[in-house]
Each structure stands twice: as structure tokens, then as C-alpha cells.
Amino acid sequence: MLLVACVAVIAPLAAAAATKEAGTVPMAADNPFARPSTLPFELPPFDKIRDEDYTPAFEAGMREQLKEVAAIAHNPQPATFENTIVALERSGRVLDRVGTVFFNLSSCNTDPKMQEIDTVMAPKLAAHNDAIFLDAALWARVDKLYTQRASLKLDPESLQLLTRYHVQFVRAGAQLSAADQKRLRAINEELSTLTTRFRQNVLKATADGAVVVGKVADLDGLTPVQIGAAARAAADRGLKDRWVIALQNTTNQPTLASLTNRELRERIYRASVGRGLSGATDNRAVIAQVVKLRAERARLLGYPDHAAYVLEDESAGNAAAVEGMIRQVASAALARARAEAADIQKLIDAQAAARGVPSFTLEPWDWSFYAEQVRKAHYAFDQAQVAPYFELEHVLQDGLFYAAHELYGLSFKERKDLPVYQPDVRVFEVSDADGKPLALFLADYFARDNKQGGAWMSGYVSQSKLLGQRPVVANHLNIPKPQAGQPVLLTFDEVTGMFHEFGHALHGMLSDVRYPYLSGTAVPRDFVEYPSQYNEMWAREPKVVEHYAHDYRSGAPMPPELLAKVLSAQKFNQGYATLEYLEAAKVDLAWHLIDASQAPAAAAVPGFEAAALKDAGLDYAPIQPRYHSGYFSHIFAGGYSAGYYAYLWSEVLARDTGQWFHAHGGLTRENGDTLRRMVLSRGRTEDPQVLFRNFYGREPDIGPLLEYRGLAGGG
Ligand SMILES: [Zn+2]
């Protein structure tokens, strides 16, 4: 089970697996995970699921799958594709159901009881996974089939499935000696415990790090809606006459763009970067131990380091390719960032001179605030002016759903009759162009304290013809919920985020494959962000914007000149955005290019990170990594270790695809259907690089990405 920051991919077998010690807790007959849901699309019966149901279902699910796997491994019949590989695909249904719901809700709607279960269950699931992938009899059958693959006369999708299983067994250690396998199991269990602790520490540190403000005057610069949200956040914490600025998961905090009080900005910034570095939520020792164990595991499996192990199975192939891409983009980004900083410093100096006070040097907590002023000066609009045009319901119905209708013929109908896990969550039934039911889409957009930060997509049911399942997918964002009766007005970044996550959702919903293992978003991490980043293009495509960007009060469309400003402003501050991302990608790689003996002591964790940035020439004081290690959940609690670079890698494909659409007439059914047929419906039934090449007609090119970000041509 991977809990990934941006897209939670549930691979059936790797995901849910059983435990080495058979559990003793029996599963009641009426446990909601005992049998497939009878709701449309097998939507989980959220109204019937109680925390007490998870542990018995996990344990029964693991027992059941171990029994199924033993029957496959010890089948007296010779191994066939059907009785081995397809049988594995069919195994572990109970575990799949409970694991999917549990881990999705652990991310978006957790509670202390679930966190306890997570802590207990994570090492058991890791051990269960090993019990399957290190089963010698099972491995012998898989290996034999793979050796005979040429004579099995398999169709391409089945051959791909066999190949993927073989790769997964090898990568899980199936070929190791018994002694090495024993050590591997111990490492996997310890890692699962550590990553669970990391995730829980970040959640708590982020909630605890919220900044309490005593005077409303200190919130000068925030909009009334934002101040209302801060008052609500204080009330939720039982604080009277106080305002609370909750933290979001990144280093930079959105309120820093508008708060005029410099001391408060610094407090918020320091609260953000201090997460995971001290006290009860200190993650330094967790990090040191995680990187050490990952390095040791890589060595056991025959790789020089964890990055080499991870990247071999990604499109990139190896660390040198990733570092090459980072270098290629870094010089353009750094040059642009320095120019942006110079503009900001000039503004700071001019304002100080005008007031007759000493100037100061630009600090990280100043960047967004002054960048916003530079933006206003350059583009002559501010957030308050555009916000009324980006009202959530319009963006959803007339933006996301509209584009999906024009491109793929999809229609959306809200289902208020179906149960949800939280009253803010909405369910939409999706119909295909021919009117047939295609999928369910869950929209969970608002921030909550019991929800992980950031935005991501997750799946509750994977599309698969083998199991007769149609997809149920969800999008999760952290849009601050306004006070009752207030409209939900978004920034253009939030609009783009909605389109991004919906791109993942479409990848899941348009999946049209036989095997669950190869379904939808179950592709390499450096490919999975391709459909989502491609879908972002529609947020700014004039034909789509004209359709959704209407003033929520009057219905008036956004004036064309304001729209032009918003769109051209998208290239603004891209030096900053690109550099903070590259810094985080570099930190991630550095942690995973070491040998176990090079893992630092806990106290040296921040120093290790700083040295990595310095060595790469990416230590630029005003711009800090998008995530510092202490709260870098993608790599220490999610599935993105040695993989944070994947966003930029996939973005190359996404921007090339944007260029392809424009060259072929833009938003049309014909174009949408081509991409759907060649990429979006294919999951991992073919090598993703081949899917892209067949669609695009050639290898990816970095040019359109630099152009899209305004980094091209030395500008
Ligand atoms: Zn994504």
C-alpha cells in the first residue's frame, strides 16, 4: 500500500497483503468489508464503517490472502498463467477493500483511533507483503512462467502483467539467500513503522504549528473571507477573541503573500520550517534511520544506493539522468530567480527610502509579499479583483466537467443519495459519451485538521475487467472553508490545482484494462504526473476559461483584459517556483544516493540537507526548498523517495502534449479521444515511454516546458 502525496496508487497485491502471525480477532459477519459493497460502483458503505471494523477486517483479509496464495504456490498442477498470475490478481479481495478505505481515510479524515491502528498494522502489512513476495514456492512458479513466456502465446496485456509480477518479485528480494531475506523482512517492517511515525509527526506538527494571533489588526492585508477563516480556525480550537493561521504543508505559506506585518510573516515562516525538528514531533532521528535502512536494503538487493534501486524501475532509469535534467533546468531557473529577487529588493529599498527608514535584505518570509506587489505593478490586478470569477462551483461544473465533456464526451450528475465519510464530500456519477455509467467521482475539497496537507487523488475501486469493477476515484484538496453562507473563491493556483487532481481522476476513470495491477494510475511515478499536469492546460485555455470564469454575483464573464493579465501573470515568479521545487528534488536525491555508513546522526540532519544544496549550487538564501526534510512527507512518508523529481520529468511530457493539442486544433473530441485511446485508457498495459512515443510521434523535448514556465530564451 503506497500512500503517495499527489496520487495514491493502490496496487492490489503490493498494497494489501496479510500478516506473518495470523490474527486472532475474528471478523463479524456484518463487517462492512466482509463482502463487496452493494452500492453503485461498489462505493464503500461509508455510513456503516466504524473504526472498530478495520482491525478484524485487516486480520481476516491477511489470513484469507495467505490461504489463497498458499493454494496457488502449492497447486499440484504445473504453473499456468491462469492458475498462478491471474489467480494472484484475484486474491486478497477483503484486504484490498479494507486497505483501500483505511489508507485513503487515514490521509483525508483520520482520528486518533485510526492512527493507532495504522501504527499497529503498518509493520504487519509490510510483513504480509514479504510473506508473499519472498515465498519460495510461489516465486518458483512465477519465474518458471517468465522463462517460458515466449511459448505461452499471451496477449500483450497478459505478457506485460507477467513481466511486471516477475520484476516485482525480483525487486522484493525473491532471489536472495534465506539469511538476506530474513534481514530484508526486518528492514521492511522497521521502515513501515518509521514512515508511519513520520507521517503522524508531520500531521501533528502542522496542526500544532498553527500561529495564534491576538489582534485582528495584525491580520492587515488578508481579505475578510480569510480573516473569517482564521476566526473559525480559532473557534474550532476553543480560542476566543483569537485568530489562527493554520499551516499548509509546504515551506511557503499562502498568507505570506498578503500579510503586511513583517514580524507576523516571520513567525509564520519560522513555524513552518521548524516542523519536525524538535519536541514531541521531532523527525530527525526518524529520517536518519530511514535513509540508513533504505541504503542497507538497496545494497542487499544488489544496488549501490536506494536511488539506483528506485530509478531502475522508473522511466528515468538512473540518477545521472535525473541529475542531468535538474542541471538543465536549474541554470535557467536560478538566473530567473536572481532577476526576480533584484526586482523585489529594488521595491523594498524604494519603499524604505520613501518612508525615510532603513531598508532591509529580502528574506524568505518577504518573497511572496513583495512578489505580489511586483505582480500588481507588472500586471495591474490583485487577487481580490479576480477572486469573484473563480468561484468553486463554476470552476467545477463549467471548468473541470465542461472540459472533460468537450474532450471525452463525459457527463456528470451529483448523487446526493450515496453515503460519504464527511458531510463536505460530494459524489458525482460519471457517464461516458454513449450514456453508459463509467465511474464515481468524489470531490473532497476543503481543509480539515484531520486531513493531510496538500492535494492528491486516490482510488477506492480500480477499474478492471477481470474483477468486473468500474472506478471510484476521489480528489482531495485543502481549500480553506469559508464561513457559512460565504462563497468559495479560489486563487488561480487553486483552480489549477483542481484541474491537476482532476487529471489524475480522469486517468483513473478512463482506464480500460483487464487486470487491476495495470489499471489507471498504477504507472511509474515519473509518468503518473503526466496526465494531471497535462490537464492543467485546460484551466488556462481561453475557450475553457471563458466558460467557467464568471462573477459569482452577477454571472458576468471575466473581462478579456483581466483574463489576459491573469494568464500572462502565470509566467511571473516562475524562477522562484521552479527553484524551490528543484531544491527539494535535489535534497530527495541526496538522501538516497548515500551508503548506509554515510547516514548522518539525527542532529546532523539539517546540516546534511544544507550541504547537499550547497554542493549542487542550489543554496540560494531567499528561496528555500519547497519542503525541508522534517516535513517532506512525499519522500519519508509517501511513495516518492528518490522520486520527487518525477513532477518535472512528467511535466516535460505534459507540456509537449499541450503543444500537440494546440497544433491539432485544441479542445476537440477528436483530440481528446486520441489521447484517451493511446494514453489515458491504457494504465500500465504497455511501457509508458512507448505509450508516449506512439501518441506524440517522437521522444519528449524539454523546450515546451521552459516556454510554459517562461524560462526559455534566457528571459
Ligand atoms: Zn499530481
* CA 151 – ligand 1 centroid, Å: 39
The predicted-structure confidence for 11-35, as pLDDT tens digits, reads as follows 334 333 333 334 466 899 999 999 9
Angle (deg, nearest 10), helices 364-379 and 560-568: 140
Total residue count of the chain as it appears in this document: 715
pLDDT at 3: 26
* CA 502 – ligand 1 centroid, Å: 9
Residue 353 has pLDDT above 90, yes or no: yes
The grid coordinates listed for 587 are: 535534497
* CA 667 – ligand 1 centroid, Å: 22
Other beta carbons less than 10 A from residue 409's beta carbon = 17
Rounded Cα gap, residues 592 and 292, in angstroms:
9
Give the DSSP letter string of 626-681.
SS-GGG-HHHHTSS-TTTTTHHHHHHHHHHHHHHHHHHTTSS-HHHHHHHIIIIIT
Question: What is the percentage of the chain residues whose pLDDT exceeds 70?
Answer: 96
Check residue 443 and give left, alpha or beta (phi > 0: left; psi -120 to 50: alpha). beta
Bridge partners (DSSP) of residue 472 are 440, 461
pLDDT at 24: 61
Residue 9 has pLDDT above 60, yes or no: no
Q: Output the average pLDDT for the chain.
A: 93
The predicted-structure confidence for 495-534, as pLDDT tens digits, reads as follows 999 999 999 999 999 999 999 999 999 999 999 999 999 9
Residue 7 has pLDDT above 80, yes or no: no
Rounded Cα gap, residues 136 and 145, in angstroms:
14
* CA 219 – ligand 1 centroid, Å: 32
* CA 518 – ligand 1 centroid, Å: 18
| Residue among 450, 8, 475 nearest 200 (CA) | 450
Residue 700 has pLDDT above 80, yes or no: yes
| Residue among 91, 83, 79 nearest 145 (CA) | 79
Calculate mean pLDDT across residues 541-549: 94
Rounded Cα gap, residues 714 and 695, in angstroms:
30
Residue 650 has pLDDT above 80, yes or no: yes
Place of cell 509480477: 165
Place of cell 492535494: 455
Calculate mean pLDDT across residues 282-306: 97
Rounded Cα gap, residues 535 and 404, in angstroms:
9
Rounded Cα gap, residues 715 and 697, in angstroms:
29
The predicted-structure confidence for 557-600, as pLDDT tens digits, reads as follows 999 889 888 888 888 999 999 999 999 999 999 999 999 999 99
* CA 501 – ligand 1 centroid, Å: 6
Calculate mean pLDDT across residues 405-433: 98
Helix (H, G, I), strand (E, B) or coil at 521: coil
Rounded Cα gap, residues 199 and 192, in angstroms:
11
Residue 666, CA distances (Å) to 114, 168, 696 in order: 46, 39, 15
* CA 276 – ligand 1 centroid, Å: 24
Rounded Cα gap, residues 149 and 93, in angstroms:
27
Rounded Cα gap, residues 335 and 410, in angstroms:
43
Residue 10 has pLDDT above 80, yes or no: no
Helices (H), 22-111: 54-73, 87-90, 93-108
Rounded Cα gap, residues 57 and 26, in angstroms:
8
Q: Which residue has the higher pLDDT, 394 or 4?
A: 394
In this structure, which residues have their CB less than 5 angstroms from ion ligand 1? 6, 529, 532
Calculate mean pLDDT across residues 311-325: 91
Contacts of 431 (CB under 8 A, 6+ apart): 410, 411, 412, 413, 437, 438
Contact at 8 Å (CB) between 448 and 109? yes
Q: How confident is the model at residue 703 (pLDDT cuts 50, 70, 90)?
A: confident
> What is the pTM (predicted TM-score) of this model?
0.85
The predicted-structure confidence for 443-477, as pLDDT tens digits, reads as follows 999 999 899 888 999 999 999 999 999 999 999 99
Q: How confident is the model at residue 4 (pLDDT cuts 50, 70, 90)?
A: very low
pLDDT at 19: 31
Q: How confident is the model at residue 382 (pLDDT cuts 50, 70, 90)?
A: confident
* CA 516 – ligand 1 centroid, Å: 21
User: How many Å is the Cα radius of gyration of the chain?
Assistant: 25
Rounded Cα gap, residues 453 and 632, in angstroms:
11
Calculate mean pLDDT across residues 432-442: 98
* CA 313 – ligand 1 centroid, Å: 19
* CA 3 – ligand 1 centroid, Å: 13
The predicted-structure confidence for 67-106, as pLDDT tens digits, reads as follows 999 999 999 999 999 999 999 999 999 999 999 999 999 9
* CA 529 – ligand 1 centroid, Å: 5
For residue 434, give the amino acid letter.
D
pLDDT at 376: 83
| Residue among 421, 396, 412 nearest 501 (CA) | 396
Residue 33, CA distances (Å) to 28, 52, 94, 135 in order: 10, 12, 6, 27
How far from chain centre, in Å, is Cα 42? Answer: 24
Calculate mean pLDDT across residues 658-670: 97
Rounded Cα gap, residues 605 and 560, in angstroms:
50
* CA 457 – ligand 1 centroid, Å: 7
- Exactly one of 501, 580, 609, 651 is catalytic; which is it? 501
CA angle 258, 350, 571 (to 5 degrees): 50
pLDDT at 211: 97
The predicted-structure confidence for 620-646, as pLDDT tens digits, reads as follows 999 999 999 999 999 999 789 999 999
Other beta carbons less than 10 A from residue 294's beta carbon = 24
Is 501 annotated as catalytic? yes
Q: Which residue has the higher pLDDT, 688 or 267?
A: 267
Q: How confident is the model at residue 484 (pLDDT cuts 50, 70, 90)?
A: confident
For residue 589, give the amino acid letter.
L
Q: How confident is the model at residue 713 (pLDDT cuts 50, 70, 90)?
A: low
The predicted-structure confidence for 167-178, as pLDDT tens digits, reads as follows 999 999 999 999
pLDDT at 452: 86
The predicted-structure confidence for 137-153, as pLDDT tens digits, reads as follows 999 999 999 999 999 99
How far from chain centre, in Å, is Cα 280? Answer: 26
* CA 505 – ligand 1 centroid, Å: 10
* CA 492 – ligand 1 centroid, Å: 17
Residue 78, CA distances (Å) to 91, 142, 691 in order: 19, 11, 34
Indicate the Cα dihedral angle 102, 415, 395, 502, nearest 10°: 40
Residue 198 has pLDDT above 90, yes or no: yes
Rounded Cα gap, residues 695 and 679, in angstroms:
7
Helices (H), 356-434: 364-379, 383-386, 392-394, 402-408
